[in-house]
Amino acid sequence: MTERRSPEHRIGIGASVPAAQGACLRVVGGGGRAGCWPRPIVESPRIPPFEWSSNDSEPNGTMMPNRREASISSLQRAAPWRLPAEVGSSGLVRTLVISAKSIGYGAIFLALTLVAIASAASGQPVKRSSGSDAPRVRGTAEAGAPAVAARQRFLELFARAYIPGRTGQLMVVPREGDFITRPDPDVEYMHGSPWAYDAEIPLMFVGPAVKTGVYSTPSVQQDIAPTLAAALGVSMPPTATGHVLPVLRPGFARPRVVFLLVLDGMRRDYFDRYADLIPTLSALRRRAAWFSAAHVNFLPTNTAVGHSTIATGTDPRVHGVTVNNIYDRIHRRRQELFAGMKPEVLMALTLADVWQLATSGRGLVLAQGSIDRAATPLAGHGACQPNGAPVVLVSYDETTGAWHSNPECFRMPDYLRDRNASTLWSSGSEWLHHRIDSPAAVRRSALFPAFEAGAMVAMIEHEPLGEDDVADLLLLNYKGADFVGHTYGPDSNELRVTLGEMDRNLSRILGALEARVGGDYLLAVTADHGMPSAPPERRHLAPAVVDLLHRKFDPQEKQLVTSYEPENAQMFVDEGRLSHLGLTLGDLARFLETQPFIFAVFTHDEVRRAADAAGPAPPAPCARAGTRVVGRTDRRPVLKASAGGVD
């Protein structure tokens, strides 16, 4: 398969940077954030996008694999507020440059380098020692200060998603521009990393209640639910770690509908690169509160973790969803989280839960997704919680091509039961010369967004949306960019065509919504993760990585690694086998870090210690301020805004 490369060399978005007015953001240990967000901000002159030098990079902005140098710009995107102040913006920093200020640190790094080289050259397993799982610093290209800062930041991102029993034994970060995937033609490209192409996401709010403009304030997925809850006049529970973003107008009226749209696999730079192909989204962006620095602040960057974080407004270490799937050590099998749309794995209340409980079930909740692990967390727990009601939830069944649900917790509308994706290939079995004549294959085409939109439009038209004085919730996982991006990549013609169809069908959805409630709704648009671009030589297969470990450490039995799915960025290791072989996890991590496509590997103990050092996830003071009703207009509450958020 030939990858079509975009001629665009730019990375990032030319963003309008607002002047901070009365900012009171403070950074706490462990990568957490506390205190208030800036007061309302206004648009200021645009900053041109950063451009890579064509001599230093691939055309898609990724560094050449054999360069012994680190990119400051890319590391700043990964850890924007943690790079040392001494690091400049000259583009590239040569490693092994030791200044007078850092000669002591350089000596330490040099010593570690010599030890690592000696160990690797010996070709022998490292003996167990009390310090074998101590933090490691690579002694080659990554020994520079920016890479050390990035490594620490990535450790903190894993710690934010650490839960004993659900987190693997080894956490793996590929080098920027490399990625690891499965030997499956449907997933030629795989996300999961902390690099910008996986972690930078769009985030915007649109509606009469919103103060429009470009906000450069760092924002994360955890902020979305608290902000939407504030618009509804409620607060998220104390489990939430996100903030109420400063987007709500003073004295705004509660919208009749709140619509949360998650564009699965939608990189933020798609909004610039493909702006002409997505006129509906581009028009929304122009009249939105657009957050130009929105990013994912945990690892891994994948669907289940992202949607659960968006829905609950809290960190993965609190809501409990740390991967797409885990290895069940008790039954020795793979366990898919949210299989059968069972929400019990979710350990925190979602926005949908909070709203249906706050309104005693009067608030309508309509949720839809094209895979169970995305749809279920958006809908929350439904009837599978005390005093819960069976909210509407449908998810696409890739085996039958129909919509389905979990009747124990949710409601499946009768008007969707007869819909089937087989109608999409009734007039032809191919799309752009690709076979799409099955329920699974058709998802990876530009035909599928029409099927997704058709179901959402039917719900809007059939349900009593916006018919009383209680606001209603729409929650949609829109998955075309992810399905097609996995198979054909971010630079492909297939993705361009799919984005165009997604945009056209989004216009259908908004048209149906406006036919019911006019413009009286609040729309939030975001993504769960991005997607990497890479030529074939930067693509690596998970079984080959496992085989490297087995050939080195367990050549006879090959039982050491029990599971490795790269979108989870984690390996599950048989620790009994590890002990039998006289090894530690540190031995495996050190060996993996000698591979040229690996940036860092962390052990379970390293991540646990980082999580312990961060302490309990603190609720944000501004986010907890909540809202209060100060008057009513048109039978809906009017909410008062204050400088520190909605008051």
Residue 429 counted as domain residue = yes
DSSP for 266-334 reads: --TTHHHHTGGG-HHHHHHHHTSEEETTBB--SS---HHHHHHHHHHSS-HHHH---SSEEEETTTTEE
The answer to whether the CB of 436 falls within 8 A of the CB of 444 is yes
Q: What string of H, E and C letters represents the secondary structure of 585-616? A: HHHHHHHHCCCCCEEEEEEHHHHHHHHHHHCC
My answer on whether 506 and 550 are in the same domain is no
pLDDT of residue 331: 86
Query: Is residue 574 one of the residues assigned to a domain?
Result: yes
Residue 2 DSSP label: P
Q: How many CA atoms lie within 13 A of 542 on its CB side?
A: 23
Question: Which pLDDT score, from 0 to 100, does residue 642 have?
Answer: 32
Q: What is the distance between the alpha carbons of residues 373 and 321, in angstroms, rounded to a whole number?
A: 10
One domain, residues 170 and 266: no
Cβ contacts of 423 within 8 Å, gap of 6 or more? 451
Residues 421 and 523 in one domain: yes
Q: Tell me, what's the pLDDT at 54? A: 29
- 33 located within any domain: no
Judgement on whether residues 110 and 255 belong to the same structural domain of the protein: no
Tell the residue number behind the tokens 């690169």, with chain if given.
Answer: 273
Q: Residue 518 sits in which domain range?
A: 196-324+333-531+619-646
> What is the spatial distance between Cα 461 and Cα 379, in angstroms, rounded to a whole number?
19
Q: What local confidence, expressed as pLDDT, does residue 618 receive?
A: 54
Work out how many domains the chain is built from and give that number. 2
Given phi > 0 = left and psi -120 to 50 = alpha, else beta, which region is 155?
Answer: alpha
Closest CA to 378 of 359, 392, 388, 358: 392
Q: Verify that 93 and 132 share a domain, yes or no.
A: yes
Q: Where are the alpha helices (DSSP H) in 410-563?
A: 448-462, 480-488, 493-517, 542-553
Residues with Cβ within 8 Å of 60's Cβ and at least 6 positions away in sequence, in order, are: 5, 6, 491, 533, 534
Task: Mark whether 166 and 92 lie in a shared domain.
Answer: yes
Q: Which residues contact 639 (CB under 8 A, 6 or more apart)?
A: 230, 231, 233, 248, 251, 252, 253, 254, 627, 628, 629, 630, 646
Handedness of CA 580, 586, 592, 595 (dihedral sign): negative
Question: Do both 262 and 348 map to the same domain?
Answer: yes
Q: Residue with structure tokens 């900053």? A: 47
CATH number of the CATH domain containing 438: 3.40.720.10
Identify the DSSP state of 20.
P
Q: Find the helix or strand (DSSP H, E) in which 22 lies.
A: none
What's the angle, vertex CA 626, arms to CA 245 and CA 298, rounded to 5?
Answer: 45
Q: How far apart are CA 255 and CA 245, in angstroms?
A: 17
Considering the domain architecture, whether residues 586 and 642 belong to the same structural domain is answered as no
Task: Please count the residues of the chain.
Answer: 647
pLDDT given for residue 333 in this prediction? 86
Q: Which residues contact 64 (CB under 8 A, 6 or more apart)?
A: 56, 57, 58, 177
Helix residue ranges, H only, 334-476: 351-358, 372-379, 448-462
Q: Does 343 share its domain with 242? A: yes
pLDDT of residue 230: 98
444 and 382 fall within a common domain = yes
10-residue stretch averages of pLDDT, the chain, 647 residues long: 35 32 34 36 30 31 33 38 33 33 44 44 41 49 78 98 95 98 96 98 98 96 98 97 97 97 98 98 98 98 98 98 90 90 97 97 97 98 96 98 98 98 94 97 98 98 96 98 98 98 98 98 98 92 98 97 96 96 98 97 98 74 33 30 32
Q: Give me the pLDDT at residue 374, please.
A: 98
Both 453 and 522 in one domain: the answer is yes
Dist. CA 336–CA 329, nearest whole Å: 13
514 and 642 belong to one structural domain: yes
Tokens 């992202």 correspond to: 306
